[in-house]
Structure 1
């Protein structure tokens, strides 16, 4: 049984390639902080280390800087390239070569089985015997090529050469499927044999085979394995080694080019073009070879390089290499050996001829070497460009001139195209790809410049300008945007800014997007941040309009309703409202109340806490006061859990202390903070112990809690009122009875006294008469 690699492997490879492309293009391959275990890559936050962020000039990707060194291909491909994956042979537990992988897709299952049998013959004799049996079942070109492949594998190069030659000598219509493979294999044989021979004819014949291969592709021969691209690298190898001392053979019979050879200026110019074309057209061998060549040039004596540096492509190659390696120029404030060598080469670099074309890039290299005087000198002669103004801004900052830097940044931004003025010129596929890459690089540079403008404005105390520039810088600098919006601006300032300049944007959210790969428009994310801030500060009615997702709007509406009801009611109803708000705050707190950055890090869904990851940035007094005023309350991770616990505690104040609801509310509050703030959890527990009823689950208080039963609490409240009056009755019953008796006796005495007085008065009247 045989099968292709699992689709997940291919998908993973595609993802890795996309990630590499993103790293290469986005913001000029900016470095990022080290990765945390099991986490995504955390984007660079410029506001955390502003001095270094503003002085740092990002290095560029070598693969993109070598693109201008390429030449147009003299042919057009007639079909899509074959998949570059190897084929897993499950029966023999091995990977098969790329040619056999292609044959698997090209041939029927029966024919592929015959080719496999031929290729797997134990020796050439066995293969010839099998070939005689199946010669009528397969095209002759395939049989002959397979025999040649068997001989090649057995290092029987004479026999292999014979079979491959038979393939290319077949009539055109018969050899079509294998002629390119045979020509390429013949060139390999000649190059292998050149390792042990002083005869330069091997190189000549190899180059002839490669030229013939390219000619056939020019005429329209289908080249699914892109052997014509590989042939460019082989021709460059021949140019480098023809006429040189043979390379010593090691374990690998055919090694990549060794470049410890004398370099001729004309030859090296052609070699650079061939490798660059190979790389730009999609063969990574060209990239690898140019990287090796660059290192070889760097290893040369400076005096030997003087002659080579007269060639423009040598200059361009070294500049591209230096630009992509600038992070290696210095360590710990001191130039490294590499940086010292670059500085040494620059002393003999033909800058007079390069002033107009390369002044800005050379200035950038001088800047990265710390030679600011030379950088300024080169800028004087360079054509105005985005890079020259960008460097000018950084040089102003080196002198402490923030105002001059701000003006230079504004000029730099003007030199980069916007989406509105991009050319709609029709180009071929390769040119279109290169144009797209170039635009990506320019866009990335503009993003970085806008971000640095924002950081500079922040340093100058121009906070609204800072947010404006950062918002223009895009997603790569979202955390800087969030910092200014969430911690530096006041809520009123942020709301006014968003209402005036940040409209809601419609977008489609793909179902398969990862949680950490937020593709929501940056406008919506800023509005969402404002909505959470408003909700945290109690502006619940206005907050809802800044949540773009319907599901969030439902949650926010319910939370606002609960808090509003709690404000306008009392007793059990208020407790129920506070409890509902507490539930929402605990279950959806990160979603509707979380800080985008510290202490909650909603930007990572709270999965990562980077509070101690970065050193604290010293802030100007004005900014520090604003940041302190916007701290979370409490300023602790998952701060909304404490808020939820407070709401549950508030609810407990409005239910009978002898109710199940009282115990349940305090139990929930205890559990929500138990592991994060044990002392606060203890306070809630002690409050329960001092006032609450016995419940069976109290021994696991905070760990196993029941849901508050407000209906029972209402009944308990009524019962408590009745019990209160009954207790008052029993307390007053005896004193009232005694009082009634006393009052009755007093009344009787008063009546008797009045009767006696009346009787005496009557008697006195009678006596008087």
Structure 2
């Protein structure tokens, strides 16, 4: 599905700036199942046309699959190999150097008779094939037929290299003759016989480096299509596709486009054939031909005619049910599902219809059966959602993800997490949300300890090449960050996926514990400031939320649009309470910057206000970009409480490291300085009073001494 929804599509990159943030458009992101739970449960993702085609038709027993690296229909950047180059290379195989040179020379001629004469020294099959090929290239199809027939009339042991070539080319020559012969039908029948012979020769082991046995399926299909036998052509193209030919795949797409253009009366007759029905069904369920969410002009016509042609038919019932479900015809979808068997798609649709009917118990049971029925490896490929997110649809994972929504609603939170986590990277955003916001930290820790051993750390080379972390490592990192945020410092360290992160987490925890245990204020302030610096410098890696508000999953470079979680039909009150209890404090983007600023403010609380350390702590914290308001508050606190420092002119930008060692001295001088400042207006009276006091004390001491001396006398 390709639809536009630009406001949602314009996801943004936040760039840290001294005075705020700038926004820029970001990339596209994976679909989140929990983003709109009702829509997730209601929609049936479109199928994948290539996958649907792989279910159709029958392979030819004994015919080898295509192995040549030609064109992959799923690779948008691949280019088909040039057939002439392949032919020339294959034509040289098995020949001596002299024969190779002669073959190359004869290929340049335009007279088949000259080739026949000048190639007398070549093996008969090589000479006859070259003569026939030159005649074909010159448009003398009758002569080409004669040469190819002569080659095929040779004893089998004399034509091991060119038998399949000759039969395939004979078929093409007869097709060409059909446009000029009086009896075109006979010529086309001769062509079909030749193509079937080419396949049989390939099966029998005659040399087929160009894989003409498989190619003959497409050539014969074209003959049938020309003759009006659409069903026969479809079956041959399906077989060609099953044998790995991109030509068969592309031909079926083109054939489907042609079918859609036919008048209704002609299409009605064609839809009587099961192969035509199945191809149309595969196209409809895959929304083949849709562009940016726009329905092709003939889509409704195809749906109507297919529904009419399949009434009372139970073949392909699960796919027919899916087409009706996608069209919103739930009555017909249910009718087909009564005969759809126990396949994964059938149970998936039953689950969706049960949700629609409000029977969540039946839905949960159907989801369970669907998950069991879908093969683990079944892959419907890549799609775009209506919000322009992308999704790799692996039905088993998608079914389990939808089932997780119902598990969350029931309060079975761990089960919901496990179902999402099993999708690996596909629904990691949803799994991370449940792990981080819904499970308690102990529930998550218990699951990780029991089920998620630490994977080998990535090498430096892998990191330099941006190799993605295994999901297990991402989950363990998420748990480590959550434990650090909740003050369980020693437990957290071992969950980080590499020694560098472990050391950073260990340092942060040590500083926090040191601050808690320090009894001397400057020691406490030093530990708090170092913890604050660590939180600001490495906070995304060791404290950031995997999802909102920090988006550590993107390294903090992007954010996603999030709707407020509210109690509703698919969201329980208990889940809302759990998410509220685990939200970031504060619930702001880059929340660890606010944590760092708060720690720095606590450090300043433990320092003499007249110290350099007090001013330096506030100055550094103001440069950590938590918010404009906090930057302003820090500066105002410095102005109100701190002593003048010359570097304050660039407060928040040019800040020295706090001098904690000399801060202790300020505990004494801070008191005397304050007293001196208070008495400064009364300087002379104080000085005179002080002098009088000194004189008085001196006289007292002198008098006292004299009295003692008098007593002794």
Q: TM-score range by the shorter chain?
A: 0.7 to 0.9
Aligned to 1:63: 50
Aligned to 2:39: 52
Q: Which of 74, 81, 98 is 2:67 aligned to?
A: 81
Local SS of the residue matching 1:538: coil
Do the aligned partners of residues 742 and 401 (structure 1) sit closer, same or farther apart at CA in structure 2, a change above 3 Å counting? same
Aligned to 1:284: 246
Shift of 1:44: 1.4
Aligned to 2:485: 536
Q: Which of 299, 307, 310 is 1:346 aligned to?
A: 307
Local SS of the residue matching 2:492: helix
Local SS of the residue matching 2:624: helix
Aligned to 2:435: 485
Question: Normalising by the residue count of structure 1, what TM-score does the alignment of the two structures yield?
Answer: 0.71
Please give the alpha-carbon distance, in whole angstroms, between the structure 2 residues aligned to 1:69 and 1:409: 26
Shift of 1:229: 1.3
Aligned to 1:636: 588
Shift of 1:521: 4.2
Cα-to-partner distance string for 1:220-275 (whole Å, 9 max, x where unaligned): 13323322211100001111214xxxxxxxxxxxxxxxxxxx44xxxx44323211
Local SS of the residue matching 1:69: coil
Local SS of the residue matching 1:47: coil
Matched-pair contact (CA < 8 Å) for 2:51–2:380: no
Do the aligned partners of residues 344 and 274 (structure 1) sit closer, same or farther apart at CA in structure 2, a change above 3 Å counting? closer
Q: Structure 1 stretch 745-754 or stretch 637-646: which is displaced more?
A: 745-754
Cα-to-partner distance string for 1:144-188 (whole Å, 9 max, x where unaligned): 877877776776768877887787788877865555445544544
**2:191 paired with 1:206:** yes
Q: Which of 234, 239, 249 is 2:224 aligned to?
A: 239
Question: Normalising by the residue count of structure 2, what TM-score does the alignment of the two structures yield?
Answer: 0.76
Q: Structure 1 stretch 547-556 or stretch 647-656: which is displaced more?
A: 647-656
Matched-pair contact (CA < 8 Å) for 2:611–2:666: no
Please give the alpha-carbon distance, in whole angstroms, between the structure 1 residues aligned to 2:611 and 2:137: 87
Aligned to 2:201: 216
Aligned to 1:365: 323
Report the count of equivalent residues: 660
Aligned to 1:561: 510
**2:549 paired with 1:599:** yes
Aligned to 2:524: 574
Matched-pair contact (CA < 8 Å) for 1:164–1:185: yes
Please give the alpha-carbon distance, in whole angstroms, between the structure 2 residues aligned to 1:109 and 1:663: 89
Matched-pair contact (CA < 8 Å) for 1:655–1:662: yes
Matched-pair contact (CA < 8 Å) for 1:663–1:695: no
**2:285 paired with 1:323:** yes
Matched-pair contact (CA < 8 Å) for 2:549–2:590: yes
Q: Structure 1 stretch 144-153 or stretch 562-571: which is displaced more?
A: 144-153
Please give the alpha-carbon distance, in whole angstroms, between the structure 2 residues aligned to 1:96 and 1:367: 41
Please give the alpha-carbon distance, in whole angstroms, between the structure 2 residues aligned to 1:371 and 1:452: 21
Q: Structure 1 stretch 362-371 or stretch 50-59: which is displaced more?
A: 362-371
Q: Which of 546, 560, 567 is 1:610 aligned to?
A: 560
Aligned to 1:405: 363
Shift of 1:462: 4.2
Aligned to 1:256: none
Please give the alpha-carbon distance, in whole angstroms, between the structure 1 residues aligned to 2:243 and 2:490: 58
Structure with the bigger RCO (C-alpha within 8 Å, sep 6+) is: 2
Local SS of the residue matching 2:623: helix
Cα-to-partner distance string for 1:269-322 (whole Å, 9 max, x where unaligned): 432321111111111111222233334444445554555444433333333222
Stretches of structure 2 lacking an aligned partner (at least 5 in a row) = 2-7, 12-23, 73-78, 383-391, 680-685
Matched-pair contact (CA < 8 Å) for 2:511–2:531: yes
Matched-pair contact (CA < 8 Å) for 2:608–2:666: no
Aligned to 1:475: 425
Aligned to 2:18: none
Please give the alpha-carbon distance, in whole angstroms, between the structure 2 residues aligned to 1:489 and 1:680: 32
**2:175 paired with 1:191:** yes
Cα-to-partner distance string for 1:513-568 (whole Å, 9 max, x where unaligned): 8988745144x433332221221222222222433433322221111111111222
Matched-pair contact (CA < 8 Å) for 1:657–1:692: yes
Shift of 1:649: 3.9
Cα-to-partner distance string for 1:591-612 (whole Å, 9 max, x where unaligned): 211111112212222232113x
Aligned to 1:251: none
Aligned to 1:375: 333
Please give the alpha-carbon distance, in whole angstroms, between the structure 2 residues aligned to 1:438 and 1:729: 82
Matched-pair contact (CA < 8 Å) for 1:343–1:369: no
Shift of 1:459: 3.2
Aligned residue runs from structure 1 range 700-739, under 5 A: 700-706=650-656, 708=657, 710=659, 713-715=660-662, 717-718=664-665, 721=668, 738-739=692-693
Please give the alpha-carbon distance, in whole angstroms, between the structure 1 residues aligned to 2:456 and 2:505: 21
Aligned to 1:694: 645
Do the aligned partners of residues 686 and 297 (structure 1) sit closer, same or farther apart at CA in structure 2, a change above 3 Å counting? same
Do the aligned partners of residues 553 and 331 (structure 1) sit closer, same or farther apart at CA in structure 2, a change above 3 Å counting? closer
Aligned to 2:683: none
Q: Which of 490, 498, 520 is 2:470 aligned to?
A: 520
Do the aligned partners of residues 664 and 231 (structure 1) sit closer, same or farther apart at CA in structure 2, a change above 3 Å counting? farther
Q: Which of 271, 274, 287 is 1:312 aligned to?
A: 274
Aligned to 1:626: 578
Shift of 1:508: 6.9
Local SS of the residue matching 2:47: coil
Do the aligned partners of residues 607 and 190 (structure 1) sit closer, same or farther apart at CA in structure 2, a change above 3 Å counting? farther
Local SS of the residue matching 1:59: coil
Please give the alpha-carbon distance, in whole angstroms, between the structure 2 residues aligned to 1:192 and 1:172: 27
Please give the alpha-carbon distance, in whole angstroms, between the structure 2 residues aligned to 1:340 and 1:677: 58
Aligned to 2:453: 504
Aligned to 1:647: 599
Please give the alpha-carbon distance, in whole angstroms, between the structure 2 residues aligned to 1:382 and 1:495: 43
Matched-pair contact (CA < 8 Å) for 2:540–2:552: yes
Please give the alpha-carbon distance, in whole angstroms, between the structure 1 residues aligned to 2:437 and 2:224: 61
Please give the alpha-carbon distance, in whole angstroms, between the structure 2 residues aligned to 1:65 and 1:402: 30
Matched-pair contact (CA < 8 Å) for 2:142–2:177: no
RMSD over aligned Cα, in angstroms? 4.9
Q: Structure 1 stretch 388-397 or stretch 104-113: which is displaced more?
A: 104-113
